[in-house]
Amino acid sequence: MIYNQKQQNIANRIEDNPGISNWKDWKWQLKHSIKTLEAFEYLTDIKFDEKEKMDLRRTFDKFPLSITPYYLSLIDKNNFRNDPVFKQAFGGVEELTTLKSELSDPLSEEKDSPVEGITHRYPDRVLFHVSNVCAMYCRHCTRKRKVGDIDFIPSKEQLKKGIQYIAETTQVRDVLLSGGDPFMLSDEMIDWLLSEISKIPHVEVIRIGTRIPVVLPYRITDKLISILKKYQPLFINTHFNHPREITPSSKEALAKLADGGFPLGNQSVLLANVNDCPKIIKTLCHKLVKNRVKPYYLYQCDLSEGLSHFRTPIGKGIEIMESLIGHTSGFARPTFVVDAPGGGGKIPLMPNYILSWSTNKVVLRNYEGVITTYEEPDNYDNKLCDRNCDNCVLELNLDEGNEYEAIGIEKLLSDENDTICLVPENNERIQRRDDTENYTEND
């Protein structure tokens, strides 16, 4: 089963004996990924002149080309220079420009790496790079330095070092698997990795960051879902940047994941001439929510090598957030963040809603421009919190509530319960006893 004529044509050209029945086989898709300029021209009928070809070859020598036939089929070849799918997949000579401010590792992930493969930046969580391969090499990738390097696929032995670090670092309660793309590992490897991490008692949650539902949705197989289901709670964050990437195939992949019980989020990157428009982002957010995906982050494009043509001013992100906050449901909008160059982590940004402030009033504005005041409480006990909690009046028993309570004969049988007899209500004998006690007391 194939969705459209364009896919049929690509499949026919890839294989003499039309590969229609293999189109949805993710391994077939990977085997036939488009890695050369010639293959791209042949399969799309898009032709470049000699000068441009030379530039493109230089670009692909530095940052390799790899596009799945599925993602290739989404390119609008009649308007490819303006096409968001083409721009994310194909690239151009602009990538060879490196500005002074651009770095190969702008987020200093290597510097915050206690062992190979682990980035430990925030107190309670780590990023675990479990693969350096991706189904497609996105031209805007912040980890261009890593992806596409075929000599750097971590072995089980290398991954064990990361697992050991997590096991020895008891403050880590959240592990984010990233890469490359973790779903590029085999089913067996994913199963092994998740089971090893899940055995670590202090790890409460595992997250997977993946672009697979966008560029290779057929990888989300029933078998993969049955493996992932064993390791709840498992959160999955995907990476859609434009509404055009939401197709019947990607919807099917998202539905499988959502039906599998995995909370889904989406991280978009704000990219010049791809999605730097309030209408595009709002439509994307609405489509995501319809497919049970929560828009999670909208990233300011990082200062990675060769990305200057993708970068927008921060003001563009603020403008987009202005068009979302209040204009659509809170759960349908992402948080706009800048990942601090040098490794400071994500910094959330939004338009200003506080216009002024005094000791007893805050002047605020809403999305329509209504200006309002919020009066501060005058009976608030302005205590200085020194984080010494011994004398605090707040309830600091943070254990989960105990809903279980033994009832009936169960109470008598339980070793945990001191009850020695059960007496029916209004029992006359006990009533008499009570009366006598009252009499005695009042006497």
The one catalytic residue in 6, 53, 251, 346 is 346
Dihedral sign for Cα 286, 296, 352, 107, please.
negative
Using the rule CB under 6 A, is 19 a contact of ligand SF4? no
Find the shortest distance in angstroms from Cβ 228 to ligand SF4: 18
Site string for ligand SF4, 171-210 (x = CB under 6 A): --------xxx-----------------------------
Is 277 marked active-site?
A: no
CA atoms within 13 A on the CB side of 29: 23
Find the shortest distance in angstroms from Cβ 239 to ligand SF4: 6
Q: Which residues contact 350 (CB under 8 A, 6 or more apart)?
A: 318, 321, 325, 335, 336
Distance from chain centroid for Cα 72: 24
The one catalytic residue in 287, 302, 311, 333 is 302
Is 365 marked active-site?
A: no
Candidates 77-85, 137-145, 151-159, 352-360 — which segment interacts with ligand SF4 by CB under 6 A?
137-145
Find the shortest distance in angstroms from Cβ 180 to ligand SF4: 6
Using the rule CB under 6 A, is 137 a contact of ligand SF4? yes
Whole-number Cα distances in Å, 130 to 49, 158, 182, 213, 247: 39, 9, 6, 18, 28
SS3 247: coil
Is 125 marked active-site?
A: yes
Using the rule CB under 6 A, is 34 a contact of ligand SF4? no
Angle at 283 between CA 278 and CA 288, to 5 degrees: 125
Is 134 marked active-site?
A: yes
SS3 209: strand
For 190-196, which contacts have Cβ atoms below 8 Å and span 24 or more sequence positions?
A: 190/224, 190/227, 190/228, 191/227, 191/230, 192/156, 193/130, 193/159, 193/163, 194/227, 194/228, 194/230, 194/231, 194/234, 195/230, 195/231, 196/160, 196/163
Residue 11 or 246: the one with the smaller Cβ distance to ligand SF4 is: 246
Number of residues in contact with ligand SF4 under rule CB under 6 A? 10
The one catalytic residue in 143, 146, 211, 287 is 143
Residue 2 or 257: the one with the smaller Cβ distance to ligand SF4 is: 257
Find the shortest distance in angstroms from Cβ 210 to ligand SF4: 7
Single residue of 138, 220, 301, 321 touching ligand SF4 by CB under 6 A: 138
Is 173 marked active-site?
A: no
Find the shortest distance in angstroms from Cβ 143 to ligand SF4: 5
Residue 19 or 312: the one with the smaller Cβ distance to ligand SF4 is: 312
Q: Which residues contact 96 (CB under 8 A, 6 or more apart)?
A: 55, 58, 59, 62, 306
Whole-number Cα distances in Å, 97 to 55, 171, 251: 12, 41, 36
SS3 129: strand
Residue 84 or 180: the one with the smaller Cβ distance to ligand SF4 is: 180
Q: Distance (Å, rounded) from C-alpha 92 to C-alpha 2?
A: 30
Query: Are the C-beta atoms of 250 and 217 separated by less than 8 Å?
Result: yes
Using the rule CB under 6 A, is 211 a contact of ligand SF4? yes
Using the rule CB under 6 A, is 143 a contact of ligand SF4? yes
Using the rule CB under 6 A, is 95 a contact of ligand SF4? no
Single residue of 10, 34, 75, 134 touching ligand SF4 by CB under 6 A: 134
**Residues annotated catalytic, as ranges:** 121-122, 125, 134, 138, 141, 143, 302, 339, 346
Q: Which residues bind ligand SF4 (CB under 6 A)?
A: 134, 137-138, 141, 143, 147, 179-181, 211
